[in-house]
Amino acid sequence: MRRALRICLIASSRFPVREPFAGGLEAHTHVLASELVRRGHEVSLFAGVGSDPALPVTVLPVEAFECSATARADVAAPPQQWMAEHHAYLGLMLELARTGADRFDVIHNNTLHHLPVAMASSVAVPMVTTLHTPPIPWLESAACFAPADSRFAAVSECTARAWEHAVVSSTILNGVDTDLWHRGPGGSGAVWTGRLVPEKAPHRAIDAARAAGVPIVLAGPIMDSSYFAAEVEPRLGPDAEYLGHLSQAELNDVVGAADVAVVTPEWDEPYGLVAAEAMACGTPVAAYARGALPELVDEDTGRLATPGDVASLAGAISTASRLDRDVVRRTAELRFGKHRMVDDYEQLYLDLVAG
């Protein structure tokens, strides 16, 4: 058995780590924390208000700071939500600077915020930061000040390449719980899941499924109501239905019942957790070949389409839906399971603690 570690896992302060998940980052954090605890590690998860009480959560005080009227009157004042997140992470890092060395062996920064990286040198505990996105200005700036004993893990080779001008990172592909995401029968058409935002482009999935003559259902949180009203809602109809923001169990039933899962990024997707979740259900994937999706989808598990080309995606939907669901499921268990992911993170923690 590997050495048990005291791990500080820093998550999003904006969205709770609980179902229904706001996005892949929260789902990833839940799987990671749960499996680390199951393996006997002592995990302190710093996360947003309303996170799953079954996890060892220490809540970040997101609502604890309100700017004074005088400060808010400053014409350069940032939004209140930005200030609340800044205050939460600043308080956490100052606390870790005071007490972290007595409480933890390693810190895993699983956020998109710059302060954990920027202030890592003030904490006498080695830190791992997972890179969940392509470079963003404030995080790229913070990386310049990361101490030499920090480590970075990218969620895909694509993301590692995007960051290579700023940091050296190892690649640890995200994992899903293949016990929870179980094989489904297929037979009901196409499915699209994720955050309903322009860069995920669910409206393209509707267009492509319609062009392929296949009904489609969509599920996920509406994170941009203006976009949903302008691009998604007008396309809904008898062959295209929005089901709402579903729990993991509900999503499993919907995704497992589909013949094909459609993934339509209009940006360089850093990983594509919804594709791995679909494969765990045995559901083949038809996706735009952007970002990390070519690392996930191969000839056995789906078909890739020309980015932005609805006709190409319609062809991918028709072809992918005929693939062997048992092969898709076995591939997901081997490549995208949580045990492989947590094995990799455990080894990274141990290497870092060993110095």
Question: How many CA within 13 A on the CB side of residue 61?
Answer: 9
The answer to whether the beta carbons of residues 60 and 47 sit under 8 Å apart is yes
CATH number (domain holding residue 55)? 3.40.50.2000
pLDDT digits (tens, 9 = 90+) for 5-23: 999 999 988 889 999 988 8
What's the predicted TM-score (pTM) here? 0.90
Which helix (H) or strand (E) segment holds residue 269: the answer is none
Residues 221 and 116 in one domain: no
Of 160, 108, 174, nearest to 131 by C-alpha is: 160
The answer to whether the beta carbons of residues 325 and 300 sit under 8 Å apart is no
Q: Over 80: is that where the pLDDT of 49 sits?
A: yes
Task: Tally the domains of the chain.
Answer: 2
Residues 82 and 167 in one domain: yes
Residues 33 and 164 in one domain: yes
Residues 50 and 123 in one domain: yes
| Cα dihedral 39→44→46→51 (10° resolution) | 60
Residues 271 and 310 in one domain: yes
Residues 51 and 145 in one domain: yes
Out of 32-36, 41-45, 61-65, pick the least confident.
61-65
**What pLDDT was estimated at residue 75?**
62
The answer to whether the beta carbons of residues 12 and 25 sit under 8 Å apart is yes
Beta bridge partners of 45: 9, 57
Residues 30 and 151 in one domain: yes
Single-letter code of the amino acid located at 32: L
**What pLDDT was estimated at residue 76?**
61
* In a domain? residue 283: yes
Residues 130 and 203 in one domain: no
pLDDT digits (tens, 9 = 90+) for 311-331: 999 999 999 999 999 999 999
Provide the token pair at 18.
């609980």
* In a domain? residue 40: yes
Q: How far apart are the first and last CA of the chain?
A: 20
* In a domain? residue 184: no
* In a domain? residue 183: no
**What pLDDT was estimated at residue 70?**
73
CA 121, CA 350: separation in Å to the nearest integer? 19
Q: Report, as an integer, the average pLDDT of 148-159.
A: 95
Residues 34 and 161 in one domain: yes
Measured CA distances, 236 to 79, 202, 216 (Å)? 34, 11, 10
The answer to whether the beta carbons of residues 45 and 51 sit under 8 Å apart is yes
Residues 168 and 213 in one domain: no
Residues 158 and 204 in one domain: no
Per the structure, the complete domain to which residue 79 belongs is given by 6-175+337-354
* In a domain? residue 180: no
* In a domain? residue 185: no
Measured CA distances, 241 to 203, 219, 226 (Å)? 12, 9, 18
Out of 59-63, 66-70, 138-142, pick the least confident.
59-63
The answer to whether the beta carbons of residues 303 and 352 sit under 8 Å apart is no
Provide the token pair at 344.
């990799």
* In a domain? residue 194: yes
* In a domain? residue 79: yes
**What pLDDT was estimated at residue 1?**
54
pLDDT digits (tens, 9 = 90+) for 199-227: 999 999 999 999 999 999 999 999 999 99
Q: Tell me the pLDDT band of 275, cut-offs 50, 70 and 90.
A: very high
Segment of 60-69, 77-86, 290-299 carrying the highest mean pLDDT = 290-299
Residues 224 and 321 in one domain: yes
Q: Over 70: is that where the pLDDT of 284 sits?
A: yes
**What pLDDT was estimated at residue 85?**
86
